[in-house]
Amino acid sequence: MGWLTKFFRGSTHKISEGQYHSKPAEETIWNGPSNSAVVTDVPSEFDNEDIARAISLSLLEEEQRKAKAIEKDMHLEEDEQLARAIQESLNVESPPRARENGNANGGNMYQPLPFMFSSGFRTCAGCHSEIGHGRFLSCMGAVWHPECFRCHACNQPIYDYEFSMSGNHPYHKTCYKERFHPKCDVCKQFIPTNMNGLIEYRAHPFWLQKYCPSHEVDGTPRCCSCERMEPRESRYVLLDDGRKLCLECLDSAVMDTSECQPLYLEIQEFYEGLNMKVEQQVPLLLVERQALNEAMEGEKTGHHHLPETRGLCLSEEQTVSTILRRPRMAGNKVMEMITEPYRLTRRCEVTAILILYGLPRLLTGSILAHEMMHAWLRLKGYRTLSPDVEEGICQVLAHMWIESEIIAGSGSNGASTSSSSSASTSSKKGGRSQFERKLGDFFKHQIESDTSMAYGDGFRAGNRAVLQYGLKRTLEHIRLTGTFPF
């Protein structure tokens, strides 16, 4: 009889969404009558009824046991089929791959191993607790609860098949792109990849402004002073001669002839400090680009920096159109430019110095220091020099003036005498803005990195000579030989 048998229900296996559940064996005991039977010679009526009831219960229990055994076998077969299906689906997945830095999505790209089922004691690298029986991820040399493997940027679990890494931190591919993929400083979009799948962009050598290569040919304007490209969310100022000026450069721009006179006095004092005083009174005029180009065509001598001339030392008699009053601003455009003709007469070897209007004070000053050196050489009777020597030594003086301004950190008192000039704003405040200081470094960098033969190579040769022999001995050598000393 089976009514005293112990029944065991084995471990149940339930696979749901790839997760493994295990319940410990559960022992169930059906308590029947005592196993010590009572023997009597003649069973009573009650004893017969008890025996009949026990036999009936035993038979019923046997039938229930058989039914449960059949149901258990069916569940086990279904579980085995489901487990085989899941294993086969895992086996067809691609093996983990790693991508190197520089791909379109950036960073190292990894694929975690498929969900595994723990059969021992493992510690999660995220929460540092035991994983126990259940699924887990194996990646980055550690094991994780799936919900503990999180993006370093958004702190959300990474359920994607691929993820990116920077340092020892995992990221969603989208989060990595948002944080590390370079964006264009012009259009503010992610810089696209080229035909080889590599991120390709342009960058200014000084400002390090990054931009899509397409902006070099799509008409995106540059500032005529600092050379930075115009971002889409801001508008540069349009000057009447077609040049564009960024708002930072506009802040210290010199816009008419009267505004430039205090700066002219500063440059004259700078030359006096070098024992190179210019005795003659040479007119200084601020002009538009067209007037500067026309004056350059009427000049018989001189070397000009292509593609655009921004200053000119004249020796011929001619009539020049100069800017009389600061133009009015209407939105992002210069309006109502007022000019007047100025007749130049030849009283000495130099008739005037012309400077292009609308440039920042430091750039205007460096151009003026350059042209002043041309005037000094002619007034001191230096014979005709080669372009690399004459332009080179003029660039040395422009470079020296910018360096003195950078060291001083603020304009001299001469610049603050003009109450209407925005060019002297920083001087009146006793210091320059951070951008203006950076702008001074940029103009100095421009002179030092010029690649032209006359202005670039000439400057570097002249600067080496001045550093080695001093300015006075270098100028004397130029007077005697027409070359830089070596």
- pLDDT above 70 for 441: yes
C-alpha distances in Å from residue 43, one per residue of 32, 50, 215, 475: 20, 10, 110, 144
Tell me whether residue 60 is in a domain: no
Confidence grade of residue 223 (pLDDT, cut at 50, 70, 90): very high
- pLDDT above 80 for 91: no
Q: Which has more confidence, 8 or 374?
A: 374
CA dist 95 and 294 (Å) reads: 72
Token pair recorded at residue 311: 């200053």
Tell me whether residue 385 is in a domain: yes
Tell me whether residue 485 is in a domain: no
**166 and 314 inside one domain:** no
Question: What is residue 406's three-state secondary structure?
Answer: helix
135, 162, 178 - which closes a domain = 178
Whole domain around residue 152: which residue ranges? 122-178
- pLDDT above 80 for 428: no
Q: Which has more confidence, 43 or 323?
A: 323
- Find where tokens 């007469």 sit: 345
Amino acid 2: pLDDT: 33
Tell me whether residue 450 is in a domain: yes
Amino acid 375: pLDDT: 94
Closest-CA residue to 228 (of 360, 405, 356): 360
Closest-CA residue to 466 (of 373, 363, 367): 373
Token pair recorded at residue 163: 């993820």
Tell me whether residue 1 is in a domain: no
C-alpha distances in Å from residue 412, one per residue of 133, 368, 405, 407: 78, 16, 9, 12
Mean of pLDDT over the chain: 76
Amino acid 307: pLDDT: 57
144, 163, 178 - which closes a domain = 178
User: CA gyration radius for the chain?
Assistant: 44
Domain with residue 152: its CATH number is 2.10.110.10
- Find where tokens 């065991």 sit: 8
**361 and 465 inside one domain:** yes
C-alpha distances in Å from residue 272, one per residue of 79, 102, 267, 278: 99, 56, 9, 8
178, 195, 214 - which closes a domain = 178
**447 and 304 inside one domain:** yes
The number of domains in the chain is 2
Tell me whether residue 191 is in a domain: no
**466 and 337 inside one domain:** yes
**346 and 467 inside one domain:** yes
What mean pLDDT do residues 208-221 have? 91
Tell me whether residue 289 is in a domain: yes
Nearest 5 degrees, angle CA 432-CA 438-CA 443?
110
Amino acid 139: pLDDT: 85
Q: Can you say whether residue 197 is alpha, beta or left, with left for phi > 0 and alpha for psi between -120 and 50 degrees?
A: left
**138 and 257 inside one domain:** no
Q: Which has more confidence, 140 or 395?
A: 395
Tell me whether residue 72 is in a domain: no
**173 and 268 inside one domain:** no
CA dist 413 and 434 (Å) reads: 20
- pLDDT above 80 for 35: no
- pLDDT above 80 for 30: no
Confidence grade of residue 473 (pLDDT, cut at 50, 70, 90): very high
Those residues with Cβ within 8 angstroms of residue 360's Cβ, 6 or more apart along the chain or in another chain? 225, 249, 251, 252, 253, 254, 423, 436, 439
C-alpha distances in Å from residue 318, one per residue of 232, 298, 299: 43, 8, 9
**170 and 258 inside one domain:** no
How do strand 352-356 and strand 284-287 relate by DSSP bridges? parallel
**158 and 279 inside one domain:** no
- pLDDT above 50 for 403: yes
CA dist 312 and 287 (Å) reads: 10
pTM: 0.66
**256 and 158 inside one domain:** no
- pLDDT above 90 for 266: yes
Secondary structure element (H or E) that encloses residue 98, with its range: strand 98-99
What's the DSSP call for residue 326?
P
